[in-house]
Structure 1
Amino acid sequence: MLHNIDLNKMNQLMKENKDAKQIISQLLENHHTAVSTIAHEIRNPLTLVSSALQVMEIQHPEVKDFSHWSQMHEDVDFMCSLLNELSSFNNSDSLHYSVFSIGQLLKNIAVSFAISLDEHDNHIEFSSDIAPDLHDFTGDKIKLEEVLLNILKNAQEAIPTDTLHGSIHMKAEQIADMLIIKITDNGCGISADHLESIFEPFTTYKQNGTGLGLSLSKRIIEAHGGTISVNSVPGKETLFTLRLPM
């Protein structure tokens, strides 16, 4: 797996040397192909295993009482999720551009997320402040939605269930030719020694996390020419800031 520092060095070398650009481009293409092939080949038999377990449960309900049966189910589901995120990460810098209303997209995401909270987490209050004068945006609508929902979900999971007044706030505004999106939560926060590594692939500090969500988000935002940053005060507040050129 290539890390951000590896990709940055490669990009710099490609700018400085035309011969190196051709060689590195081919290597990157081979790398993406290999990762996609491996993920695909593993996912197929794993899907069959998952289906077989479901059939066994239907035909023999007593297996649910077997020791470690539920844990086995969780492990298979986790591996499927990991492979799906690996495929998404591998293709995160391949964008399908269109021109769309970023304001409407943000409103749709806000409504969708608020509904999901009403169904599961009544102790969390969600609010949004989306500027009414946002210009149309050119980018990958689906991948940007994926990024925002991922960060909002992380914010939701960061708020302990015993918190009486959890809150998540999303703000979006346009300053000059830059779209600024800020997502704040009053959850558990992120310690200073973890802040520098949370965007690295396979780095996670939550149970059952794959460690690809934030690294995937970073690659998608950077593919749009933007940046993503985080500030956090443990036990008080976490703020994710996305900056995207309009």
Structure 2
Amino acid sequence: MNIDIASLYLILALFFFLLPVAVFFATSEFRDRQVYWWCVGGLGTSLGFMFVGLRGVVPDIVSFYLAHVFFAIGFSFRSLSLRLEMSINIHRTALIYAAIGSIYVIVFSLLVYTNASEFYRLNWVHGYLVLMSLDLLWISQSIYHELKNKGGKLIAWMAIFILIGLLVRMVGYTTELGGVGVFEKGTDQYIGIFFIMIGYVLGNFGFIQLRLEKLWEYKKAVDVQLADTRSKNLTLEEILEEKNELMRTLSLSAKANSMGTMLGAIAHEINQPLGAIRINAEMLLALIRKSGDREGFQEALEHILQDNERAAVVVSSLRKFFIKGSSEFVSVDLSELIGDVYRILLPEARLHGVNLRAEIEPALMVKADLNQLQMVALNLINNAMDAVEGLAGEKNISIRLYQQDKRVILEVSDNGPGVPSDRVATIFELFNTTKEFGMGMGLWLSRAIMDSHEGTISLLKGPANETLFQVSLPIYSLAYQN
């Protein structure tokens, strides 16, 4: 061969520079500390061979000392990069590599300083390279056996080819079959450099294979996680639908349970205007028969119409209250809804001597499920009536509906004994009740309904220290829809 050995070293340096650059760009999708360290190792080896090839051109301090510092950096970082494949806790291993590399550079420097022959210097260098190549072989074999990664096998072949090249070179200058000097021509030089080049090509392909297989595993894990997330989302949607269906069922069930009590009171209330209608009708007939008094006839007729209207309002409110609505949210006039509930419960309140008052601002619109909001209002007012039932004095319940900022506020307060202090924190929990025969579902269901409506329900104290439940809902109008 006509190519001198120094030029081969420079070609080898260029080759070792291009390989880590190729690795760097090939692993752009999954570039991490392991990739950076492998590339630093390749660049270190490249600089080492470059300074060796420039021996006689650059100062001896660069060729003799700095070159071998880069060799130590190159082999150490390459091995550390592979060790990251099996464990990220390599602090102690990094210190060991730093110590070995420092000993290698110091001993080589002493050999140069003491003018030791090139034979001993070559033996020391090749001994270090053999040690690091054996370490590389052990790491790559461990990666292959533990992770079953084909990249580990290629890196193992890299270590084997480097070892063959080093051993050929060592046999050459030890037996004098090859050149003893660094740049002395010999078949062992060419064979050694050839095997090292083949080894490095295989090793870098192996490292890329390591990263690609890890990327594929990561993508598979992401796909599995996404599939699991989609499955959980579907399950969650089913659970939410079951919860909404449960709330609708409980709402209607609570209304049905309240029907008996309310129907008695409503029947009593309807009987009064119907009785008055009968009396006024009889009076009208008597007037017509006796004197034909037109003025009396007109007054009696007006009373009949008023009482008839009163009965119609009660019946209309009752029908509207017990209509089964859709689960879809619609625009609801909360003022009208609370007014209907108030009119329905007013007869029962009167029968029990309860002073039920209502202050309702008109035309307060919300987007809601009509039946669920009826359930909340009914539950709060019934709870208030139960709270004042045992009072000896005045029994007062107040209903207030008003707008505050962009919210509609419903307040139901009573002058009952209040909620015991040890029950305040758990008053909205399922099966928690202060009533002797209560089930503990009303307030829990009311809070669940408010959550689904982006609203809140709270237990507060009123201005006169009375028990006050406050419901807050976002107002719904053309001004706030955006």
Q: Note whether the superposition's TM-score is higher than 0.5.
A: yes
Is the CA contact (8 Å cut-off) linking 1:191 and 1:232 kept in structure 2? no
Residue 104 in structure 1 maps to residue 333 in structure 2: no
SS of the residue 1:196 aligns to: helix
SS of the residue 2:428 aligns to: coil
Higher share in helix:
2
Find the aligned partners of 1:30 and 1:189 in 2 and give their Cα distance. Answer: 35
Displacement of 1:95: 3.9
- Equivalent position of 2:235 in the other structure: 26
- Which of the numbers 357, 371, 390 marks the counterpart of 1:127? 357
Deviations 1:172-217 (A, max 9, x none): 1012220011110000101222111010111112111111110000
SS of the residue 1:199 aligns to: coil
Query: Taking structure 1 as reference, are residues 32 and 100 closer, same or farther at Cα in structure 2, changes over 3 Å only?
Result: closer
Displacement of 1:25: 4.3
Is the CA contact (8 Å cut-off) linking 1:197 and 1:203 kept in structure 2? yes
- Which of the numbers 192, 195, 202 marks the counterpart of 2:421? 192
Deviations 1:64-97 (A, max 9, x none): xxxxxxxxxxxxxxxxxxxxxxxxxxxxxx9421
- Equivalent position of 2:182 in the other structure: none
- Which of the numbers 182, 191, 213 marks the counterpart of 2:411? 182
- Which of the numbers 97, 109, 113 marks the counterpart of 2:345? 113
Displacement of 1:114: 1.0
Is the CA contact (8 Å cut-off) linking 1:168 and 1:186 kept in structure 2? yes
Higher share in strand:
1
Residue 227 in structure 1 maps to residue 227 in structure 2: no
Query: Taking structure 1 as reference, are residues 175 and 27 closer, same or farther at Cα in structure 2, changes over 3 Å only?
Result: closer
Unpaired stretches in structure 1, ≥5 consecutive residues: 1-16, 41-93
Find the aligned partners of 1:242 and 1:31 in 2 and give their Cα distance. Answer: 22
Displacement of 1:22: 4.1
- Equivalent position of 2:370 in the other structure: 141
Residue 202 in structure 1 maps to residue 431 in structure 2: yes
Is the CA contact (8 Å cut-off) linking 1:160 and 1:188 kept in structure 2? no
> What percent of counterpart residues are identical?
28
Displacement of 1:101: 1.7
- Equivalent position of 1:217 in the other structure: 446
TM-score by length of 2: 0.32
Unpaired stretches in structure 2, ≥5 consecutive residues: 1-225, 250-325, 476-482
SS of the residue 2:449 aligns to: helix
Find the aligned partners of 2:431 and 2:390 in 1 and give their Cα distance. Answer: 26
Displacement of 1:103: 1.2
SS of the residue 2:430 aligns to: coil
User: Which of the pair has more CA radius of gyration?
Assistant: 2
Deviations 1:98-130 (A, max 9, x none): 2232211111111111122123x11x1010101
Displacement of 1:161: 2.6
Is the CA contact (8 Å cut-off) linking 1:228 and 1:241 kept in structure 2? yes
Deviations 1:43-82 (A, max 9, x none): xxxxxxxxxxxxxxxxxxxxxxxxxxxxxxxxxxxxxxxx
Letter in 2 for 1:237: E
Is the CA contact (8 Å cut-off) linking 2:396 and 2:415 kept in structure 1? yes
Is the CA contact (8 Å cut-off) linking 1:171 and 1:182 kept in structure 2? yes
Aligned residues: 170
- Equivalent position of 1:157 in the other structure: 386
What RMSD, in angstroms, separates the aligned Cα atoms of the two structures? 2.9
RCO comparison, higher one (Cα < 8 Å, 6+): 1
Find the aligned partners of 1:159 and 1:128 in 2 and give their Cα distance. Answer: 17
Query: Taking structure 1 as reference, are residues 23 and 99 closer, same or farther at Cα in structure 2, changes over 3 Å only?
Result: same
Displacement of 1:224: 0.5
Is the CA contact (8 Å cut-off) linking 2:391 and 2:416 kept in structure 1? no
